[in-house]
Amino acid sequence: MNGTGDVCGSVEPMSDTWGRLKARLEELRDLGSAQKLFEWDQAVLLPEKGGRGRAKAAATLEGISHDRLTDPEIGALLDELEADDSLPDDQKAHVRVTRREYDRATKVPADLVREIAELQGISYQTWTEARPKNDFKMMQPFLERLVELKKREADAIGWEGERYDALIDVFEPDMTTAEVEKMFADLVTGLTPLANSILDAAGDKPEWLNAPYPEDKQMAFSHWLCEQIGFDTKGGRLDQSPHPFTIQIGVGDVRQTTRTEPNTVMDSIFSTLHETGHALYEQGIPEELNGLPAGSVASLGLHESQSRMWENQVGRSRPFTEFMLPHLKELFPENLGSIPFEEFHRGANYPQRSLIRVYADEVTYNLHVALRFELELAMFRGDLAVADLPGAWNDQMDSFLGMKPSTDSDGVLQDMHWSIGALGYFPTYTLGTLYSAAFFDKANTEFGGLEEDLRKGDGSRLLIWLNDNVFRHAYLREPKSIAEDIIGGPITAGPFIEYLRTKYSAIYETQF
């Protein structure tokens, strides 16, 4: 879906200075596409023995990109363009975003960039081996080195409040640690008693949720489902990987992955809806912007708002589960053929204390994220050593969710993020969750109700609204500005807490 309306300003003749910068930016875009293809291939197709070789190749590409981006001529071109008040709005936005990237990149030594890139590749490959072996010791030296290097990177970039600010800013521009701490404090305070009440009311888990479902049929349903809600398969693809993710390789090439397991059919479905939400955002960036600096998603919080919305506000809604059930009964008649709708809807929304974040329900999910945020922050404040992560993880899991993992595979090793140095990333999951509830409520109000659309599996009107309010802006504006224009002020935990309270009061026919 392309943008509508005049989002790029008036058409002006391209200045020679802009033309020279644009050529540089297009080269960086192409190098970035090659790096992203490496990432996708490593997660989906790379043979086990290819990890170290791929890590070195990825580091070489990262080094070349860093050298190109930090060329002093780019700085000179930016200086000249920033002094030109006649630039069209879209070019001003590209210059603004490039300046942000250039300033960060020129502060980080090239040898540090290469060292981090190579270590990330080796560390990720080690994680794919360590998790099934339940061997944290395999990962420990890589995580220790990554944390140390990311601290050096943060110090090179600079920060005002504390070191962790420099990491958050990579994923959520202008967000600070202090803001994130307050966000989690408010959310956890409101969510914990509500979650406990809902969990107490849930009762026994329906047996059909853990029945055996052939994985090839799960994937067949996932392929059908992502197309049903608007994913353009001519501009992307769906595959499988150990950890689901979405990545835009280049213009017209958005790739997503999901994960299937024999006894978790609903987890597979919601994983697919989650990643398709990401993919729809990537595919919705206006073509005339795509591939240039401001032709990207504005922040990972906004990105996550889309995945959480399609997974939860859409996918777990009463009308959409009503739409899915007949199709699932046809595919899995032995397990679902006799299941009445009310039982299916409750099962699709069954809340439970679980060890694995990616399989967590919407009631408990953000408690998993809060745990990770606190551990990351402790590491970067020097209050927690990497060697002590497993024990700290287990203690925090007990504190937040009342359970402890019996293995590190189900504990500290379950996520890929730390293995690739994505520190500062986790808070965006919760920020996106808060955005998703507020955005969907706004869209639903403006349309006078989306229930009938979703009952037919039709997401087209919602996509139009998202295009007009989110997608078409890309990174032409700052993420806080985009979000606050939609919801009419700063984001709070209130709309999300109220969404859960209303929804689960209806499911369990009691007032929470």
Q: How far is CA 135 from the centre of its chain?
A: 26
Q: Taking 90 as the threshold, does the pLDDT of residue 52 lie above it?
A: no
Confidence of residue 190 (pLDDT cuts 50, 70, 90): very high
Q: Tens of pLDDT along 435-480?
A: 999 999 999 999 888 999 999 999 999 999 999 999 999 999 999 9
Return the active site residues: 275
What is the pLDDT at residue 460?
Answer: 95
Q: Is the pLDDT of residue 157 over 90?
A: yes
pLDDT category at 400 given cuts 50, 70, 90 is very high
Residue 226, pLDDT > 80, answer yes
Q: Are 430 and 370 in contact (CB under 8 A)?
A: yes
Tell me the backbone φ, ψ of residue 249, rounded to 5 degrees: -70, -40
Rounded Cα distance between 465 and 442, Å, is: 10
What are the phi and psi torsion angles at 255 (to 5°)? -115, 135
Q: How far apart are CA 415 and CA 136, in angstroms?
A: 12
Asked if the model's pLDDT at residue 15 lies above 80, the reply is no
Q: What is the residue whose two structure tokens read 């701490």?
A: 181
Could you tell me the pLDDT band of residue 7, with boundaries at 50, 70 and 90? very low
Calpha distance 433→417 (Å, rounded): 18
Average of per-residue pLDDT across 48-53: 89
Dist. CA 140–CA 413, nearest whole Å: 10
> Per DSSP, what are the bridge partners of residue 236?
254
Q: What is the pLDDT of residue 11?
A: 44
Does pLDDT of 1 surpass 60?
A: no
Q: What is the pLDDT of residues 261-276, one digit of tens each?
A: 899 899 999 999 999 9
Rounded to 5°, the CA angle 218-318-434 comes to 90
418 vs 146: CA distance, rounded Å: 8
Per-residue HEC secondary structure of 228-273 comes to HCCCCHHHEEEEECCCCCEEEEECCEEEEEECCCCCCHHHHHHHHH
Question: So what's the pLDDT on residue 14?
Answer: 57
Distance CA 480, CA 178 (A): 16
pLDDT digits (tens, 9 = 90+) for 352-387: 999 999 889 999 999 999 999 999 999 999 999 999
Q: Say which amino acid occupies 13.
A: P
pLDDT score, position 291:
85
